[in-house]
A and B are shown apart, each in its own frame.
Chain A
Amino acid sequence: MAEPNLFRLRTDPAHGAPAVPLADYQAGGTVVRLEPGDDARLLIPHLASLRRIDIAFPKFREGRGFSSARILREAGFTHEIRAVDVLYVDQLMFLVRAGFDAVLPETPIDPAVAERTLKRFPFVYMKATDAAAPVWALRDRA
């Protein structure tokens, strides 16, 4: 399936199977889609078989997906977590730090703006799911 708007930060090939809703998900399935109200923790027993988890953002104000992604990363999921639907380039830093490594927005992301956005903040204040060390760790090392 062609996905021209897919913005991906992983180098491995995308696992292209269509996502199934959580309600229809069966053990052993490789791709699932979480709606904002779905409990991400229900997937924890299935993380070994999952290859991609799509998390829906039906509107800009929606923020539950940030918690869902982080919970899945905290539980050790290392494959692709994809944010889908209403997302903007200016949210990239939040998405990446919360554990997303792919975005499939309704409107395309300008790669030049994305690059600027992702490099914008040289430091972060709090530990999250990405590798960035919070400033308190940098200060402690100094």
Chain B
Amino acid sequence: MYRYDEYDQAIVDARVAEFRDQVERRLKNEISEEAFKPLRLMNGLYLQLHAYMLRVAIPYGTLDSRQMRMLAHIARRYDRGYGHFTTRQNIQYNWIKLAETPDLLADLASVEMHAFQTSGNCIRNISSDQFAAAAADEIADPRPYAELLRQWSTLHPEFSFLPRKFKIAVTGSTIDRAAIQLHDIGLQLVQNDAGEIGLKVLVGGGMGRTPMLAHVIRDWLPLANYLSYMEAILRVYNRHGRRDNIYKARIKILVNDLGAAEFARQVEEEWAQVKPLGLDPPPSELARIAAHFAPPVLDANAPVEIDLSNPDFANWVAVNTHPHKAPGHAIVTISLKAPGEIPGDASADQMDIIADLAQRYAGDEIRVTHAQNLVLPHVRRADLFDLWQVLKAAGLATANLDRASDIISCPGLDYCTLANARSIPIAQRLAVKLAPQEADLGELKIKVSGCINGCGHHHAGHIGILGVDRKGEENYQLLLGGSGAEDATLAKILGPGFDENGIVTAVEKVIDRYKTLRAGPAERFLDTYRRVGAEPFKEAVYG
């Protein structure tokens, strides 16, 4: 875990003081709402349908028990006793009072947390692999590189008024749990023949109105100069990205218009200008940061074999744990998707319980996943049963990771001013309907967005649902065949949309057809769809 030094703490404390000053000026009407809006947005404070919403940054989705307890405290003190974990590995609070936000930010700063750049046309929270430092398939821990990016992008003088928001993901594995092909910049740690580690650079991916997969613009970027290369990408984007139409302002449009090769050429040209300016920190800085992420000391004699005679426990172990790189250990995913509940929500009490478990069993670390679940990354297999019993008592032992009821959903029209349709109730109804048969269905990723902006990642869903407004009525489009993993594809619309009841029925018909079409129990829905195409599903739904 990265720990702040006096410099990091001073910057975050200054930010709290700055925002306190800005809020005071706003409350005294010394600045207009129009002038205040971009300032509050840069601190993650949105005005939603019912109240202010505050988005708190969880850099690369990593936090410790002390920080999780603070998130619980904030839920109790400033909200209604719960928080909502997001697809950007952050947490949102939906019932915030403007006058209280400076105190809230001060509370966060006391545990080395902040809301820097969780909104606005700037570089947003850097996301990463939730299994970092634990997964057996990893080349190196991506988080030191993400932390250096966090620092570099914080209050950047040139890149705080970009054409549009900007999202960067970093992964250290060929198994992509961070959706790097769907980010403005995706970075993948790679190893060359000499055993050196560098970065593969992807640019121009994204979802929203115009979904696109990213292009590789560099196969190998030396780590010593990756920040100056980021400066070059951002400068080309800041100068040439479209500003005349907010729907065409993301970097993906620029990369697409120029072509990836020409975009890459312009970046190289700019890099040649900025690389000699001394923008890259010395290797000692990366080494200093990396030392904070030293792997936890794990029990070298941890037993691999455990008692799986309790069938519910055995099922949860099979579904919600992954192999750890250290023998006798496991990576535990805590599902925040109990069927019928709001995806990604956790109560303050649940947060406290998870903090206790992390401290007791998981090297004091917790991760937030972009699928809105939580992870305990380093757990002895021998401790799994005790841990599971605590989770079960807290309503947190749902065994549905990557299954039909593990649905990503944006807040939708229940909270969000941008939404055209509700998404949470659709996710809830589908989860309740599909949960009984999800074991049979295997991996099935369903993702629901309440508007074209796609915060629910519907384009990356094996089954995606997009809520739109059709003549004042909520209408839901059905998309099939998307993936945000290393085999990334964009889901395609199947046909005309449905009302709320109709979309639930349509998904059921798609799933019933899949069961008759699949080549065997191991063939995932996505693989069946890729093998047979959309036609049989179209026929099942509209036929």
State whether these chains interact: yes
Q: Given A120-B18, A140-B285, answer yes or no on A125-B11 (Cβ-Cβ < 8 Å).
A: yes
The answer on a CB contact under 8 Å between B238 and A66 is yes
CB < 8 Å neighbour of A67 from B15, B239, B277, B279: B239
The answer on a CB contact under 8 Å between B288 and A128 is no
Which residues of chain B are within 8 angstroms of A113 by Cβ–Cβ distance?
21, 25
**Complex Cα gap A74–B277 (Å):** 8
**Complex Cα gap A60–B38 (Å):** 8
**Complex Cα gap A122–B8 (Å):** 10
A2 at the binding interface (Cβ < 8 Å): no
CB < 8 Å neighbour of B7 from A62, A120, A135: A135
Tell me the smallest distance from the CB of A68 to a CB of chain B, in Å.
8
The answer on a CB contact under 8 Å between B158 and A128 is yes
The answer on a CB contact under 8 Å between B25 and A121 is no
Chain A's closest residue to B164 (CB) is A61
Which residues of chain B are within 8 angstroms of A138 by Cβ–Cβ distance?
7
Tell me the smallest distance from the CB of A70 to a CB of chain B, in Å.
5
Which residues of chain B are within 8 angstroms of A16 by Cβ–Cβ distance?
none
A32 at the binding interface (Cβ < 8 Å): no
- Give residues 41-94 of A contacting B (CB, 8 Å): 60-64, 66-67, 70, 74, 88, 90, 93-94
The answer on a CB contact under 8 Å between A123 and B161 is no
The answer on a CB contact under 8 Å between A124 and B155 is yes
Q: How large is the interface on B (under 10, 10 to 19, 20 to 34, 35 or more residues)?
A: 35 or more
B22 at the binding interface (Cβ < 8 Å): yes
Main secondary structure of the interface of B (DSSP, over half): helix
B3 at the binding interface (Cβ < 8 Å): no
Q: How large is the interface on A (under 10, 10 to 19, 20 to 34, 35 or more residues)?
A: 35 or more
The answer on a CB contact under 8 Å between B121 and A63 is yes
**Complex Cα gap A112–B125 (Å):** 32
Which residues of chain B are within 8 angstroms of A136 by Cβ–Cβ distance?
151, 281-282, 285
Chain A's closest residue to B150 (CB) is A125
Q: Given A67-B235, A125-B11, A139-B288, answer yes or no on A88-B17 (Cβ-Cβ < 8 Å).
A: no
The answer on a CB contact under 8 Å between A74 and B11 is no
The answer on a CB contact under 8 Å between A63 and B39 is no
Q: Mark A105-127, 1 if CB is under 8 A from B, else 0.
A: 00000000100110011111111
Q: Mark B28-69, 1 if CB is under 8 A from A, else 0.
A: 000100010011000000000000000000000000000000
- Give residues 213-248 of B contacting A (CB, 8 Å): 227, 235, 238-239, 243
Chain B's closest residue to A127 (CB) is B279
A98 at the binding interface (Cβ < 8 Å): yes
Q: Given A120-B14, A121-B155, A123-B10, answer yes or no on A61-B5 (Cβ-Cβ < 8 Å).
A: no
Tell me the smallest distance from the CB of B31 to a CB of chain A, in Å.
8
Q: Mark B394-434, 1 if CB is under 8 A from A, else 0.
A: 00000000000000000000000000000000000000000
**Complex Cα gap A134–B235 (Å):** 19
The answer on a CB contact under 8 Å between A121 and B157 is no
Tell me the smallest distance from the CB of B270 to a CB of chain A, in Å.
10
The answer on a CB contact under 8 Å between A97 and B157 is yes
CB < 8 Å neighbour of A74 from B10, B238, B273: B273
- Give residues 273-296 of B contacting A (CB, 8 Å): 273-274, 277-279, 281-282, 284-285, 288
B163 at the binding interface (Cβ < 8 Å): yes
The answer on a CB contact under 8 Å between A62 and B10 is no
Q: Mark B130-164, 1 if CB is under 8 A from A, else 0.
A: 00000000000000000000011011111111110
The answer on a CB contact under 8 Å between A63 and B157 is no
**Complex Cα gap A138–B157 (Å):** 19
The answer on a CB contact under 8 Å between A62 and B238 is no
Which residues of chain B are within 8 angstroms of A66 by Cβ–Cβ distance?
157-161, 238
Q: Given A67-B238, A136-B285, answer yes or no on A62-B35 (Cβ-Cβ < 8 Å).
A: no
Which residues of chain B are within 8 angstroms of A36 by Cβ–Cβ distance?
243
Which residues of chain A are within 8 angstroms of B22 by Cβ–Cβ distance?
90
**Complex Cα gap A136–B279 (Å):** 10
Tell me the smallest distance from the CB of A137 to a CB of chain B, in Å.
8
Q: Given A122-B14, A125-B11, answer yes or no on A93-B157 (Cβ-Cβ < 8 Å).
A: yes
The answer on a CB contact under 8 Å between A123 and B282 is no
**Complex Cα gap A93–B163 (Å):** 20
The answer on a CB contact under 8 Å between B278 and A125 is no
Can you list 19 residue pairs at the A/B interface with Cβ under 8 Å? Answer: A60-B38, A60-B161, A61-B161, A63-B238, A64-B238, A66-B159, A90-B39, A94-B157, A121-B15, A122-B11, A123-B7, A124-B11, A125-B11, A126-B152, A126-B279, A127-B277, A127-B278, A137-B281, A138-B7
Interface residues, chain B, CB within 8 Å of chain A? 5, 7-8, 10-11, 14-15, 17-18, 21-22, 25, 31, 35, 38-39, 121, 151-152, 154-163, 227, 235, 238-239, 243, 273-274, 277-279, 281-282, 284-285, 288
